[in-house]
Structure 1
């Protein structure tokens, strides 16, 4: 039975998840088309492009519509832009202090300026921006590498300093290369009028840095060509492959070479689809959806366009499931369910969601996209990377004519990823999870929950701070946001959950009739926790959320501690009661005062990535057990206060 049916059929009463690593040899793309089909289906010489030629001024006026003048004005602001130099010490700083922003800031400013100048020239078409675009292209070509300092570990030589002997394809180099490929395609004739060496140099750099590197290297982990059992395939895979596909489709006009490249990207992207559970959930969270499933959609759309629709997997249920996850994870008022490194704020790119929904025939996505669009009083000028910007312009009228339709489902159950969302008619939205502690962008959070009242988060997942070297290193779990004791979870015998694929939820169950979710999370803790069983369960009632921990220990060395993360105003002055007030929403957490004593820890947020969401501080409420039982159960009930 397919996952979509499992999610939607109300008669489903019970599911026990048995597999967390669900890598499945679907190979949808390779089954859809072998090499010969790819070769014969390709639309050569960029005939697939649905956009006007550079010289078609009437076409661009129509294509850009009311946005034309805005693009020109923005480009004008960069006519005197001083191009930044990414210094050697900017790269070295990542190795010295872990700071990646020092290198990325000037690099991103240059790329943003170049993109704005390109769009201004496409809008105006008079050559006024060409010299400054050439300056940006030249600066880019003179760089040793287009990869980010944090990603230069992909070099065979390793490190954070760019090697002149090899080229790395990462998110940074791919993003810039795809933008430069669009510039080359549209502006080569204009460059040649200035000096033929300009376009020739650019074409050479794109060839050696991207086209040759992609075809001749297979050690980049995101390609997944050397994938071992249990290894991750995350958003890097569709994101990098899509950037590469753009470069090949815009630059390569030899059918044999193009077919080899396209088929190679298909075999790589198949690994991402194979890695994703059939239920379609993004284990990295909603704020990564646009880079994961969203980039996969971009890739599939370009593959569809570049082959005249001959190669398409948009009818596959898993592709639709992956898209609809973003709509189902929306709580309301800009808040989303945020597990792992994802932010609690977002909702997604309405234009991207609409296009994805249109391609897969998902009324859920199209209605949700129209809903997101309706929240903005002003129609923003489309931005972002060139492909998404052009696609937004291409489909904007279709989205404008789509009926607004969004309502949080009664529940959403992802039986393989083990995410469960439950709602009731009184404003409760509960998000729970099982999973395992080696998911992409993992936090040690097996069994945790978030609770929203009338779309306001009350019991929360803090998310993640600004990325540094430490974030993706052996030191990751020294960061407090990654640790289970800073999630809504117990410390068992004073021991937190452990990182690793073997630390996971077991006996995960969901009963939609009872609105009941449970998981044995004992298996997420290391041996020193001395826990035989710890079943964490959530039961959503009409006016309450009941949480229960049923446990059995081998030894009781230290008092158990049950932690809850929240924000707003917290009051623990009454034994047995924790009161939380956030943005006008009031909740009461009731516990047994004879079993626990409560404490509150204030967590100051000096990282803007966190404080921009939660303010200056959040709180950890801890229920500290008074006794050391070997077995028993704890119950905590959350209700609203009118």
Structure 2
């Protein structure tokens, strides 16, 4: 019996005994049910006949395809004709191991990628061979690199450390970005390369086959593949992200039907694991910032699979796929602000073009209407945002759907509530401009923060009580030191410290008895189990109720022992005034909110939290404030009530 079969049997038995399968995991296997290997093999469109873009020599086709953006592409390419290709040094890689610095490697790597992308798009736009020599320089430079993977991801190597190993290859997002671009360059420019020297295209094809095609088919150890699931496996955005790039390379390079079918079916099996892990309600536990590379990348994968099989394999009509897409529209608050649980940023408009394409595929007016709504804010045409997206496929797809998107009509109206019963996210709003986002869940979600039971409140689309988000990623962010970072801790979320103790990390620390009543606009949950045993919590029921002009929060609790002081924390970036007993005033951008509390139970304090991380300061400025209601007396049972209302600002 193969080791893989043994692992699977042990996993199933353990799951039945412990009932501890991965959170949300459900053996749906939509793709494998849609097509078996025989159907897939017979449906494949061979020799790149699926490519929906003009041939290189079709100049009229490219002129129509690019329309008014043609000259922009050419100008950006011209700016790179004298580009000096940057060497990513050994110490640039090891900087991550030494200090946690990712940028030492990623900046020169990214500059090279951007230059090569701009040169390639310029050549497609112009079609005269003027950019070919410099493209060849870039291709040759890439082929000479030991790895295309990012330094932070070299932990996927079997070799220890973060110096690239010449003995093995890693498939990650960085390798995917580069391989995707190089595969399209091979597809379109091989004849031009051969006119100069056939060794150029031969070398490029060999590197792509060795680093991507063979590596994918001959290795199961990359965790994101999710072939060997265990009860503690979490399948996140890496899965559709990496599988999409692999699928793209196979479709562009492999012309043997049997080998191509084996590879495509392998990606389908892997991607099914991601869909299986995602809750049926479609919410992205990683937050809206990650939607583009989670559900958004799943859409890219499904679109490519659809095209590569002439539509024979499609699950776009599946409600789960639609739910996953609509999450990005329903999580948008307005004016560039979005709900940002976990490692997401509160400022994330989203890629309007991608949202439109996804919405059109699944027949969602919610998505197409939302895409049209944010078009004016998110309207960055592909010539300008391609490099930052690092995705040649999305550039080409944006141009392919350019005219359709231009006709899209703004039609999305924010729902009074959106309830994700499995992921336990809840958004509720009213006609006076209050929008509240609340989460239950558990403290081991992908990109997790210890934040069970927290909320964010917006007034007229302006955040008032906030989830600060996450700072710049370093090695520490994804190490066992993660929860020493203040942004990850529950005491820097809108949550209580019970007996002076914050929440703990782990899948067992979660909300229970979570229930939403849409008639009362009320969400209730017991968050007591999100705290460690030494917090001595028997229960802590938190109830959120949105009224016509206020949000009421009620905490009722029972403690087995009094071992510290209760403290109720609220984070804001507004100007705070606690001078009036019983009322805290928060002013922000011409909005005023009053937080009323029981003055006989609490003493309020303010802590200024200075922000020196640019990723956070770009959103919130140089500082935020933690307002704490400190319990004046400890009791083993009791209840607290806080009421948040909007008021006219006097700023």
TM-score range (shorter-chain normalised) is: over 0.9
- Asked whether the 8 Å contact 2:22–2:231 carries over to 1, the reply is no
Matched, 1:299 2:305: no
Aligned to 1:616: 622
Match of 1:447 in 2: 453
Q: Which deviations, in whole Å up to 9, do the C-alpha atoms of 1:476-510 show, x marking residues without a partner?
A: 00000000000000000111000000000000010
Aligned counterpart, 1:100: 102
Once the two structures are TM-superposed, the CA of residue 375 in structure 1 deviates from its matched residue by 3.9
Equivalent residues of 2:225, 2:270 under 8 A apart = yes
Please report the TM-score for the alignment, with normalisation by the length of structure 1. 0.96
- Which residue of structure 2 lines up, in the alignment, with residue 61 of structure 1? 63
Q: What is the CA deviation profile of residues 239-275 of structure 1, one whole-angstrom value per residue up to 9, with x for unaligned ones?
A: 0000000000000000000000000000000000000
Q: Does 1:509 align with 2:536?
A: no
Distance 1:380 1:616 in 2: 32
> Using the alignment, how far apart are the partners of 1:386 and 1:52 within structure 2?
15
CA distance, structure 2, for counterparts of residue 198 and residue 19 of structure 1: 49
Contact 1:19 1:416 in 2 (8 A): no
- Are residues 1:554 and 2:569 paired? no
Q: Following TM superposition, by how much is the alpha carbon of 1:347 offset from its aligned partner in structure 2, in angstroms?
A: 2.4
Separation of aligned partners in 2, 1:238 and 1:443: 23
Aligned to 1:402: 408
Q: Give the structure 1 partner of residue 196 of structure 2.
A: 194
* Aligned twin of 2:358: 356
1:458 pairs with 2:460: no
For residue 122 of structure 2, what is the aligned residue in structure 1? Answer: 120
Q: 1:590 aligns with which of 577, 587, 596?
A: 596
| Aligned residue among 576, 598, 609 for 1:603 | 609
User: What is the SS of the residue equivalent to 2:247?
Assistant: helix
Tell me how far apart the structure 1 counterparts of residues 22 and 508 of structure 2 sit (CA, whole Å).
Answer: 10
Whether the 8 Å contact between 2:25 and 2:279 is mirrored in structure 1 is yes
Q: Could you tell me whether the CA contact under 8 Å between 1:567 and 1:614 is conserved in 2?
A: yes
Equivalent residues in 2 for 1:629-640, closer than 5 Å: 629-640=635-646
Q: CA deviation at 1:557?
A: 1.3
CA spacing shift, 1:380–1:211, aligned 2, 3 Å: closer
**Alpha-carbon deviation of 1:573?**
1.3
Residue matched to 2:240: 238
Aligned mate of 2:531, from 522, 525, 549: 525
| 1:555 to 1:19, Cα distance in 2 relative to 1, 3 A | farther
CA distance in 1, matches of 2:142, 2:160: 22
1:535 equivalent in structure 2: 541
- Does the CA-based 8 Å contact 1:94-1:160 persist in structure 2? yes
Contact 1:20 1:417 in 2 (8 A): no
1:330 aligns with: 332
CA distance in 2, matches of 1:203, 1:573: 70
Report what 1:417 is aligned to: 423
Partner Cα separation in structure 2 for residue 90 and residue 343 of structure 1: 27
Bigger relative contact order, structure 1 or 2 (CA pairs below 8 A, ≥6 apart) = 1
- 1:150 aligns with one of 149, 152, 156: 152
Q: Is the 8 A contact 1:94 1:100 kept in 2?
A: yes
Once superposed, what is the RMSD of the aligned Cα atoms?
1.2
Residues 437 and 443, structure 1, Cα contact 8 Å, conserved in 2:
yes
Contact 2:240–2:297 (CA<8 Å) still a contact in 1?
A: yes
Match of 1:547, SS state, is strand
Q: Provide closer, same or farther for how the CA distance between residues 88 and 376 of structure 1 changes in structure 2, counting only shifts above 3 A.
A: closer
Distance 1:20 1:56 in 2: 50
Alpha carbons 1:330, 1:347 under 8 Å: kept: yes
Give the 3-state SS of the residue equivalent to 1:555 in structure 2: coil
The alpha-carbon deviation at position 22 of structure 1 amounts to 1.8
Farther off after superposition, 154-163 or 116-125:
154-163
Alignment partner of 1:179 out of 181, 202, 212: 181
Q: Conserved in 1, the CA contact under 8 Å of 2:21 and 2:231?
A: no
Please state whether the residue corresponding to 2:450 is helix, strand or coil. Answer: coil
> Which piece of structure 1 moves more, 539-548 or 366-375?
366-375
By how many angstroms is 1:20 displaced?
Answer: 8.6
Aligned partner of 2:485 in structure 1 is 479
Report SS of the residue matched to 2:374: helix
Shift of residue 379, structure 1, vs aligned partner: 5.7
Contact 1:146 1:173 in 2 (8 A): yes
Q: Which runs of 5+ in 1 are unaligned?
A: 1-17
User: 2:26 touches 2:276 (CA, 8 Å); kept in 1?
Assistant: yes
Partners of 2:378 and 2:257 in 1: how far apart? 45
Aligned-residue offset at 1:231: 1.3
Distance 1:627 1:20, change over 3 A: farther
SS of the residue corresponding to residue 401 of structure 2 reads helix
Q: Distance in 2 between matches of 1:94 and 1:164?
A: 19
1:593 aligned counterpart, secondary structure: coil
Deviation of 1:407 after TM superposition, in Å, equals 2.0
User: Residue deviations 1:77-125, cap 9 Å, x none?
Assistant: 1111111100000011111101111111100110011001000000001
